Structure 1
Amino acid sequence: MSTVQPGRATDGAGGASGSVVRRILLGSHLRRLREARGVTREAAGYSIRASESKISRMELGRVSFKARDVEDLLTLYGVTDESERDALLSLVREANAAGWWHSYGDVLPGWFQTYVGLEGAACLIRGYEVQFVPGLLQTEDYVHAVVVRGQPDASRGEVDRRVALRVERQKLLIAERAPDFHLVLDEAALHRPYGDAEVMRGQLRHLIEFSERPNVRLQIMPFGFGGHAGESGAFTILRFPESDLPDVVYLEQLTSALYLDKAEDVAQYDRVMRRLQEDGLSPSGSRDLLSSTLQTF
């Protein structure tokens, strides 16, 4: 079994953002070790005084890790090489590191914390959006309008916290090691007003500005094309620099989210994304449409 190389990942705010990725990598590696040794999840759980379901959650990277538990599991799986043990225990420390977003736990649901961690560790983010401009490209005024529309009963303090969280996420795209961001945005999002005309003008100007950044590829799917491959709705595909980690498809729901990483599922969304990029306006054509739409507000 090869030795794991932990490495580091940084987010747009300049701190460690790879804790979610590290948990997934560590869990996946522990699963491979267990299976290679022929140990059942039940037996693994018994060895660390835990349930079979706890082992399952650990292997999926959905819980934090205790160094003692990992040490006991490595012993059970016959891992005696000190360099391999040290590398995996180093992953434990990184996997348990709190991300910057944890300080927004009062307004950030647990299911979305996972996404923020994955987003911050990705090297390529591709997505399709139809309802509104996605969070990474929203102006502060547009964010405020979206939050107020979606949370009409929220206090002013809560609204301000939600806006601050989204603005903090946006630092990702202008960081020194910013990911590539490829977005296909349905034309409907350009005409659906959030806030007044000045807010929309500012948002459209912001899209034009960011579409010229070297790491951003923004395409508009125009009304004139008619029906297209994005019929199932908005989605995001995340790719990571770690070769051990598969692409992840993120599907947001009202009170939860789905994270798909099975090869056949990801492949279907990848095909849809490629068709959307082929059928949408080119980046330059999209800027032209943004400029003409700007004149309507």
Structure 2
Amino acid sequence: MQHGPAVRRRKLGEELRKLRHAAGLTSRSAGALAGWHQSKVSRIETGASGVKATDVRLLLDVYEVDDPRLRTLLETLAGAAGGSGTPWWYAYRGLLPPEYRDFISLEAQACSVRTLETSVVPGLLQTPAYARAVTRATLEDLPEATVESLAEVRITRQAVLRARDPLKLRVVLDEAALRRQVGGPRVMREQLRELVRSARLPHVRLQVLPFSVGAYVGLASSFVIFSFPNTSDLDVVVLDHLTSSLHLERAEDREVYSAAFTTMQARALSAVDSLDLIATLMDDA
């Protein structure tokens, strides 16, 4: 297990090595075509050093990779903006820790996300008032201006659900998150109303794990699984902690968490029954 930047370097290096092999090039010949020493290619492929987006673009040109989505993804893994200029979260770079910026960039380039939340509504489905309340509670003693900015970041992230090619979102949500009065009754009523609206989007599926299922795998830890176009080798599991995040990228880890998510979907209420439960709680709030 490593933190996000190290994982991304290694995954980027693995993918670039596959592309070099597909192009029929040795690391020496690839370096020569790029105008580099062989050792630079080797360092990039092993994840031993960081790599600039411009270097990634040069290697992709050398390997004759034309797929725009694959190029965008690999440039983003290098910390770039996916070839489309400065990413929006760059404006918050002094506020957001590197792990969170890395999380946002993965989210922005993913084609689908599966998430288990055991205590709060997922950030992609939060209302501004709920986001502010969660931020105040989890990061105490912050200036109000900072709370507002962090909530603004969370709401801006939701643009991935409104894009022309929107993110496919699958959520399994513990019933506890629906009943916990974050921000008070008024905030929760609006949050529940927003969950109903979001869950009716064709690319969003929300299922509730009711209290009646008892204990379940994943109860002690929320997680997010990012999946990307073109290759499942770039999928990442993210575990959130109070002060940091851990990224899991080994195939066996991804398989375990994917299987756990599928199991929890089977144990959760159907999407229709989940909406009925949320509507009932909204009426009672």
TM superposition score normalised by structure 2: 0.78
Out of 107, 112, 127, the position equivalent to 1:139 is 127
Structure 1 position 120 matched with structure 2 position 99? no
- 1:73-122: CA deviations, max 9, x gaps? x7xxxxxx97526869x778774334211111122110111111111111
Partner residue of 1:77?
Answer: none
Distance 1:191 1:68, change over 3 A: closer
User: Is the contact between residue 233 and residue 251 of structure 2 (CA under 8 Å) also seen in structure 1?
Assistant: no
Deviates more, 1:143-152 or 1:200-209: 143-152
Q: Which runs of 5+ in 2 are unaligned?
A: 1-6, 29-35
What RMSD over aligned residues (CA atoms) do the two structures have, in Å? 3.4
One-letter identity of the residue aligned with 1:281:
L
Which one of 168, 172, 176 corresponds to residue 160 of structure 2?
Answer: 172
Q: 1:239 aligns with which of 206, 222, 227?
A: 227
Contact 1:124–1:181 (8 Å) recurs in 2: yes
CA contact (8 A) 2:128 2:155 kept: yes
Report how far residue 253 of structure 1 moved. 1.6
Deviation at 1:25, TM superposition (A): 6.5
After superposition, residues 197-236 of structure 1 pair within 5 angstroms as 197-236=185-224
Query: Distance between the aligned counterparts of 1:278 and 1:244, measured in 2?
Result: 23
1:184 & 1:86 partners in 2: Cα distance?
A: 37
2:265 aligned with 1:286, yes or no?
A: no
Cα 1:26/1:267, change in 2 over 3 Å = closer
Matched, 1:28 2:14: yes
Q: 2:93 matched to which residue of 1? A: 105
Stretch deviating more after TM superposition (287-296 or 176-185): 287-296
TM-aligned CA deviation for residue 152 of structure 1: 2.3
What displacement does 1:167 show? 1.0
Number of the residue aligned with 2:117: 129
Closer, same or farther in 2 for the Cα pair 1:217/1:82, shift >3 Å? closer
1-side partners of 2:200 and 2:10: how far apart?
A: 34
Q: Does 1:158 align with 2:146?
A: yes
- Taking structure 1 as the reference length, the TM-score comes to 0.75
- The question of whether the paired residues in 2 share the 8 Å contact of 1:25 and 1:244 is answered with no
Change (3 A) 1:68 1:276: closer
- Structure-2 residue corresponding to 1:8: none
Identical columns (%): 33
- 3-state SS, counterpart of residue 63 of structure 2: helix
What is the CA–CA distance in structure 2 between the aligned matches of 1:263 and 1:113, rounded to whole Å?
Answer: 24
The residue aligned with 1:65 is: 52
Give, in angstroms, the shift of residue 24 of structure 1: 6.8
Counterpart-to-counterpart distance in 2, 1:218 and 1:144: 22
The Cα offsets for residues 24-72 of structure 1, whole Å up to 9 and x where unpaired, read as: 77522444559x8488xxxxxx94888x9xx26x74498342757997x
Quote the Cα distance in structure 2 between the aligned partners of 1:185 and 1:165.
22
CA 23–263 in structure 1, closer or farther in 2 if over 3 Å, else same: closer
Taking a change above 3 Å as real, the CA distance of residues 242 and 93 of structure 1, as seen in their structure-2 partners, is closer
Unaligned runs of 5+ residues in structure 1 are 1-20, 40-45, 75-80
Instruction: Compare 173-182 and 281-290 and name the one that shifted more.
Output: 173-182
Corresponding position of 2:63:
84
- Give the Cα–Cα distance (whole angstroms) in 2 for the partners of residues 167 and 222 of structure 1: 27
CA contact (8 A) 2:221 2:239 kept: no
Matched, 1:249 2:237: yes
Question: Is 2:262 the partner of 1:274?
Answer: yes
